[in-house]
């Protein structure tokens, strides 16, 4: 339907404002509406309802356009703030918690390693009184010296615990961000291929109790 | 009773959300794919291309990329020059190729790496092949113990015989890992490596388990008093 005509029939436009061709069509509509009003019809003609419903059914859209529309049209979901916060907290724990977080050393220093299932907490220590910072880097963290040891009492002994999985790990200490040093107290060493030695940790976990094949 | 209301949350079309999630997921994955990104940042594009070419040579031989990339990353992190890193990658490639004859190139990376370490430290290839066949699960740990033993000064033959002895007596992996420290303790006390091994083997034959060289707790005062290396890893099992 012509937009101008539509607005006229809705009472938004005055008949005088219509274009001549639209005015002509508007008069036809006016006559029709007048006839309807004068006929005094109380309800829809018999059979009109089924005619309309049949018409709608024939216009029923196939499945695929409706599926596509569902993916494209905006939707709204209802969410309880409490559940939303809980979900956000879970996601934060999963994505933001550092995997190689250093666990502070217990003051007693009684245990060097704590086995929790197949994860082992390894305590690293280095005596470096002149150091401003000490980090540990190894094949377990792609040699990024970001696992910082701490010296809370300022006695020059830097320490920290790191969660490692069972296996053979190589590492070095990094003093003041750039000075790589081999752990002088490591039990094992291996050549690093660059003229220095990496310290080696062998963590057996539960497999350590297995007997060797004769 | 706490009444919790629900709120409507308008969001864009599901298609938009799926694309958004895909982008968020793909960006970090893409970053992971470029596993030499740190090397590139530290050494520049030209040097990294050379290293990548060396790695590709290894890959063509069926070597695992991770081990070669890790070596390059290690070198770059330690501030080595590109030539040094390149040489290290080539050397490792050769060593891993040889290690493949021991454990097969399809073996776990850790086993392949330890086979290379074992060959480098002088262990016999045939001995390692046999060792891997019989102790494939604990191969890496056993090689660690053997390397450690060789570092005490004993010969390859003596170390290999000691392992055979330990295996035949049903020693556990943890106990095997303690053997070199016991040998080292005796050497520090003045015995020759050969005598130290003989003493430890005699102890094993009498049914005694290898003791912890120290009481297990790392202690700097102990270290200072005896001036000996201390082991932080005794209490791992």
**B235–A111 C-beta distance less than 8 A:** yes
Give the model's pLDDT for residue A207.
62
**Any domain includes A67:** no
Segment A150-156 long-range contacts (CB within 8 Å, at least 24 positions apart): A150/A102, A150/A104, A150/A105, A155/A129, A156/A127, A156/A128, A156/A129, A156/A130, A156/A131
Residue with tokens 């695929």: A64
Residue B13 CB contacts under 8 Å (≥ 6 apart), including other chains: A71, A72, A73, A74, A75
Statement to judge: residues A34 and A125 lie in one domain: no
CA distance A167 to A122: 12
CA distance B117 to B95: 8
Statement to judge: residues A200 and A114 lie in one domain: yes
**Any domain includes A202:** yes
Nearest beta carbon to residue B236 from set A113, A145, A211: A113
The predicted-structure confidence for B30-41, as pLDDT tens digits, reads as follows: 444 578 888 888
Statement to judge: residues A28 and A116 lie in one domain: no
Query: How many structural domains compose chain A?
Result: 2
Statement to judge: residues A29 and A115 lie in one domain: no
Give the model's pLDDT for residue B228.
36
Going by C-alpha positions, the residue among B150, B168, B171, B170 that lies closest to residue B159 is B150
Statement to judge: residues A109 and A202 lie in one domain: yes
Burial class (CB in 10 A: 0-12, 13-18, 19+), A113: buried
pLDDT at B200 > cutoff 60 = yes
Going by C-alpha positions, the residue among A212, A211, A113, A88 that lies closest to residue A169 is A113
Residue B169 — very low, low, confident or very high, per pLDDT cuts 50/70/90?
confident
For B97, phi and psi rounded to 5 degrees? -60, -45
Statement to judge: residues A106 and A205 lie in one domain: yes
Give the model's pLDDT for residue A109.
33
Residue B204: count other Cβ atoms within 10 Å of its Cβ. 20
Read off the pLDDT of each residue in B226-237 and give the average, rounded to a whole number: 35
A35: part of which helix (H) or strand (E)? helix A20-39
pLDDT at B209 > cutoff 80 = no
B222 or A203, which is more confident: A203
Read off the pLDDT of each residue in B165-175 and give the average, rounded to a whole number: 84
**Any domain includes A94:** no
Question: Is residue A63 helix, strand or coil?
Answer: helix
Statement to judge: residues A194 and A116 lie in one domain: yes
Statement to judge: residues A117 and A24 lie in one domain: no
A146: part of which helix (H) or strand (E)? none
Range of the domain at A33: 1-38
- The CATH number linked to A136 is 2.60.40.10
* DSSP conformation class of A105: P
| Number of helical (H) and strand (E) elements in chain B, helices listed first | 12, 1
**With an 8 Å Cβ cutoff, is B176 touching chain A?**
yes
B contacts of A163 (beta carbons < 8 Å): none
Question: In this predicted complex, what is the ipTM?
Answer: 0.73
**Any domain includes A96:** no
CA distance B194 to B157: 11
**With an 8 Å Cβ cutoff, is A121 touching chain B?**
no
Nearest beta carbon to residue A211 from set B151, B170, B235: B170
User: Which residue positions in chain A have pLDDT lower than 50?
Assistant: 100-101, 103-116
**Any domain includes A150:** yes
For B210, phi and psi rounded to 5 degrees? -60, 120
Residue A195: count other Cβ atoms within 10 Å of its Cβ. 9
Segment B9-12 long-range contacts (CB within 8 Å, at least 24 positions apart): B9/A76, B9/A77, B9/A78, B9/A79, B9/A84, B10/A74, B10/A75, B10/A76, B11/A74, B11/A75, B11/A76, B11/A77, B12/A74
pLDDT at B233 > cutoff 50 = no
The predicted-structure confidence for B51-92, as pLDDT tens digits, reads as follows: 999 999 999 999 999 999 999 999 999 999 999 999 999 999
**Any domain includes A57:** no
Give the model's pLDDT for residue A38.
80
Give the model's pLDDT for residue A114.
45
A contacts of B18 (beta carbons < 8 Å): 71
The predicted-structure confidence for B111-157, as pLDDT tens digits, reads as follows: 999 999 999 999 999 999 999 998 888 899 999 999 999 988 999 99
Read off the pLDDT of each residue in B9-38 and give the average, rounded to a whole number: 68
Please give the C-alpha separations between residue A102 and each of A161, A199, B149, in angstroms, as whole numbers: 5, 19, 32
**With an 8 Å Cβ cutoff, is B167 touching chain A?**
yes
Chain B interface disruption, residue of A66, A141, A200, A212, most B CBs within 10 A: A212
**Any domain includes A66:** no
Statement to judge: residues A27 and A115 lie in one domain: no
**Any domain includes A47:** no
Give the model's pLDDT for residue B32.
46
**A82–B15 C-beta distance less than 8 A:** no
Residue B224 — very low, low, confident or very high, per pLDDT cuts 50/70/90?
very low
């Amino acid at each position: 339907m012509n937009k101008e005509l539509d607005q006229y029939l809705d009472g938004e436009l005055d008949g005088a404002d219509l274009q001549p061709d639209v005015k002509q069509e508007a008069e036809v509509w006016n006559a029709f509406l007048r006839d309807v009003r004068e006929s005094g019809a109380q309800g829809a003609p018999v059979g009109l309802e089924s005619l309309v419903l049949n018409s709608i059914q024939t216009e029923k859209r196939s499945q695929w356009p409706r599926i596509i529309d569902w993916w494209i049209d905006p939707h709204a979901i209802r969410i309880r703030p409490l559940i939303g916060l809980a979900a956000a907290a879970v996601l934060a724990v999963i994505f933001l918690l550092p995997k190689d977080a250093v666990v502070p050393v217990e003051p007693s220093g009684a245990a060097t390693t704590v086995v929790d299932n197949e994860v082992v907490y390894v305590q690293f220590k280095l005596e470096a009184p002149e150091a401003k910072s000490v980090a540990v880097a190894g094949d377990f963290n792609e040699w990024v010296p970001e696992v910082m040891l701490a010296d809370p009492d300022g006695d020059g002994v830097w320490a920290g615990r790191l969660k490692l999985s069972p296996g053979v790990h190589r590492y070095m200490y990094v003093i003041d961000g750039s000075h790589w040093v081999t752990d002088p107290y490591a039990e094992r060493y291996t050549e690093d291929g660059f003229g220095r030695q990496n310290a080696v940790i062998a963590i057996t976990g539960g497999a350590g109790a297995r007997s060797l094949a004769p | 009773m706490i009444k919790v209301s629900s709120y409507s949350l308008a969001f864009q079309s599901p298609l938009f959300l799926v694309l958004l999630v895909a982008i968020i997921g793909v960006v970090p994955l893409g970053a992971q794919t470029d596993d030499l990104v740190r090397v590139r940042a530290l050494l520049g594009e030209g040097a990294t291309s050379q290293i990548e070419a060396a790695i590709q040579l290894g890959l063509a031989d069926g070597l695992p990329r991770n081990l070669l990339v890790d070596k390059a990353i290690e070198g770059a992190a330690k501030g080595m020059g590109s030539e040094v890193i390149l040489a290290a990658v080539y050397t490792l490639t050769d060593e891993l190729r040889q290690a493949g004859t021991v454990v097969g190139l399809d073996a776990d990376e850790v086993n392949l790496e330890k086979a290379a370490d074992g060959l480098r430290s002088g262990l016999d290839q045939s001995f390692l092949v046999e060792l891997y066949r019989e102790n494939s699960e604990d191969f890496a740990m056993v090689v660690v113990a053997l390397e450690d033993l060789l570092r005490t000064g004993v010969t390859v033959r003596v170390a290999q015989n000691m392992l055979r002895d330990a295996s035949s007596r049903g020693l556990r992996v943890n106990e095997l890992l303690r053997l070199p420290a016991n040998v080292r303790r005796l050497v520090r006390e003045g015995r020759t490596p050969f005598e130290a091994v003989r003493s430890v083997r005699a102890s094993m034959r009498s049914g005694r388990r290898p003791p912890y060289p120290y009481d297990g707790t790392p202690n700097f005062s102990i270290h200072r008093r005896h001036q000996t290396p201390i082991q932080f890893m005794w209490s791992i099992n």
